[in-house]
Amino acid sequence: MTGDLAAYRPRRSVLYLPSSNERALEKAKALPVDALILDLEDAVAPEAKDAARENACAAVRSGAYGRRELTIRVNGTGSAWHDADLAAACAAGPQAIVVPKVGSADEVRSLVAAMESAGAPEHTRLWAMVETPVAVLHAEEIARASDRLGCLVLGTNDLYKELGATFAPGRAAIQVSLQLVVLAARAAGVAVLDGVFNDVRDTEGFLAEARQGRELGFDGKTLIHPGQVGPGNEVFAPGTDEVERARGVIAAFEAAQADGRGVATLDGRLIEQLHVDTAQRVLATAEAIAALE
């Protein structure tokens, strides 16, 4: 989450939807998902690109998706479809435009300039996908390149491919990359989303990877199937015990301050201001999620 608690928006579950699939777009209106990435890129065949673009923009303009955050993933810079995708997305005005394989701060600045030239409304942010070794190594520069950049999105499938690494439970091959991107996002004060889990039948594997993502500090996880939405929401939401513990930390610290003490204890553990800050983030997250329900 960003440093501004008041601006926090839950992104526990962020589902990719092929915009060529009208049935999937319709079903998404009823999903308990925090955000949708209306995809014009990998999930759409070349002959369906134009129709997908029209469908995605119509979905954004429809107002039929309630509190769900709507974003559009355009085809990458330099592709045959990028310019048309970007112009149409800017005109539609989603919450964000997601761009694949962003590799440098200069590319971010060029994309932002193109968005502004195309008349993108003020609320439309840029989400940059980090999918290559170069992007990982320059993630902080990418994250700081423009105030319009609101989120870094891990493209873990492409990252494995670029590294020549092997998929395995625990993601040992890319853990350093994941941590570097989270560090960059936190340093720049932007959101950061974990990559997808490919086996839609492996619920336990998904849960393990989602829990790892939360432990590493991600705000949420990108998803490829509606069945992953519920588990993703559960993993990235504070549990009842966590919320109660946060309230206890804040109450204990306030009582200590009232007695003129700078630190407190709760259940034998030392509490300082940094623990209070963490507790406040937990409560802000829980309140923001509750407001969606």
Residue 195: CATH number of its domain: 3.20.20.60
The band of 260, judged by pLDDT with boundaries at 50, 70 and 90, is confident
Predicted confidence at residue 292, as pLDDT, reads: 75
Residue 158 or residue 244, greater confidence? 158
Domain match, 118 and 245 both: no
The total domain count for the chain is 2
Does one domain contain both 114 and 95? yes
> Does one domain contain both 99 and 244?
no
For residue range 116-148, what is the model confidence (pLDDT) as tens digits?
999 999 999 999 999 999 999 999 999 999 999
Tokens linked to 12: 């526990």
72, containing H or E segment: strand 69-73
Residue 269 and residue 148 share a domain = no
Residues 251, 130 share a domain: no
Specify whether 12 is located in the same domain as 154.
yes
Same domain, 99 and 200: yes
Q: Are strands 125-130 and 264-266 parallel, antiparallel or unpaired?
A: unpaired
State yes or no: pLDDT of 269 exceeds 90.
no
pLDDT value of residue 5: 43
Domain of residue 278: give its range: 240-290
Pairs from 157-165 (Cβ < 8 Å, separation ≥ 24): 157/195, 157/196, 157/198, 158/101, 158/131, 158/132, 159/130, 159/131, 159/132, 159/133, 159/195, 162/131, 162/132, 162/133, 163/133
- Say whether pLDDT at 154 is over 70: yes
Domain boundary among 235, 252, 278: 235
Residue range 168-179, pLDDT digits in tens? 999 999 999 999
At 286 the pLDDT is 85
Whether the CB-CB separation of 143 and 187 falls below 8 Å is answered with yes
Q: Is residue 4 pLDDT above 50, yes or no? A: no
Same structural domain for residues 198 and 269?
no
- 1 pLDDT above the threshold of 70: no
* Tens-place pLDDT, residues 5-28: 445 789 999 999 999 999 999 999
In this structure, are 176 and 78 located in the same domain?
yes
Structural domain ending residue among the three candidates 195, 215, 235: 235
Q: Which domain-ending residue is among 235, 252, 269?
A: 235
- Do residues 178 and 283 share a domain? no
* Residue 171 and residue 143 share a domain: yes
256 and 192 assigned to the same domain:
no
